[in-house]
Structure 1
Amino acid sequence: MNQKVKVLTLKKNLNAQTSSEFQQAITVILESGAEIVLLDCQNITFLDSSGLGTLVLAFKTLRDAGKKMVLCSINDQVRMIFELTSMTEIFEIFPSKDEFNQILLAKN
């Protein structure tokens, strides 16, 4: 993985109970100097409105700092939530970590 990319593997569903933990992880990544944050969502089976809001806040925070946030490996249920809320127009979503790496390598 490229030094400019930091992978954050979400191990829990993103909801009101886990949002602060996620925000802390984003703050640590922001301070690490990474240019791209890849959120690996393969373990996420549920996302509520609080979790979605937390993702949007992280996206804006990173964007304002000149960083990019992308997602990979989201399941069909979470993808449906993203589509219903038009978040697929905001977030760049890759089918897998490998596909993200292939596209990143192609750009370099």
Structure 2
Amino acid sequence: MTMVIKLQEKEGIKIARLAELSRFTLSITEEIKNELKPLLSIPKTKLILDLEDITFIDSSGIGCIISLVKTAKSNDSTFKICCLNKDVATVFDLLHLQMILDIYPDVEAGIQSFRE
């Protein structure tokens, strides 16, 4: 499966949007890690992962996100997530991921959090 990660930058913050897919599963985790880990390996990188189009996430997707969090922390970078669909937000809540992730309702709120 070919996936599109649309990268843009606003106010020095990289915004990665998973576009043209709705499922964050094993079939795409390697591609996501290959694309985003190098960015987070650069110290002081600020990255927001926009999951607006994602309606389903499995354990592989969760593992991928946790791997990105670890990469960011070990390189003094910052990784945030935004735009969770209701079903994906329920999974995050059940797993208490809000304890290790910075989650925002939309991209603008994520950007605003870097200003504070």
If the length of structure 2 is used for normalisation, what is the TM-score? 0.82
Superposition deviation, residue 34 in structure 1: 5.5
Structure possessing the higher relative contact order (Cα contacts under 8 Å, 6 or more residues apart): 1
Superposition deviation, residue 32 in structure 1: 5.8
Partner SS for 2:47: strand
Could you tell me which residue of structure 2 aligns to residue 56 of structure 1?
Answer: 66
Give the CA RMSD over aligned residues.
Answer: 1.6
Could you tell me which residue of structure 2 aligns to residue 8 of structure 1?
Answer: 16
Aligned partner of 2:35 among 3, 25, 41 = 25
Aligned partner of 2:85 among 75, 88, 100 = 75
Give the conservation status (yes or no) of the 8 Å contact 1:6–1:34: no
Could you tell me which residue of structure 2 aligns to residue 46 of structure 1?
Answer: 56
Residue segments in structure 2 that go unaligned for 5+ positions in a row: 1-9
Query: Structure 1: how far apart are the matches of 2:41 and 2:107?
Result: 23
Decide whether aligned partners of structure 1 residues 16 and 89 sit closer, same or farther in structure 2, where only a CA change above 3 A counts.
Answer: same
% identity of equivalent residues: 24
State the aligned residue count. Answer: 105
Question: Does 2:93 align with 1:89?
Answer: no
Structure having the higher helix fraction is: 1
Partner SS for 2:24: coil
Give the conservation status (yes or no) of the 8 Å contact 2:37–2:71: no
Deviates more, 1:67-76 or 1:6-15: 6-15
Q: Which amino acid letter does the alignment assign opposite residue 51 of structure 1?
A: G
Structure having the higher strand fraction is: 2
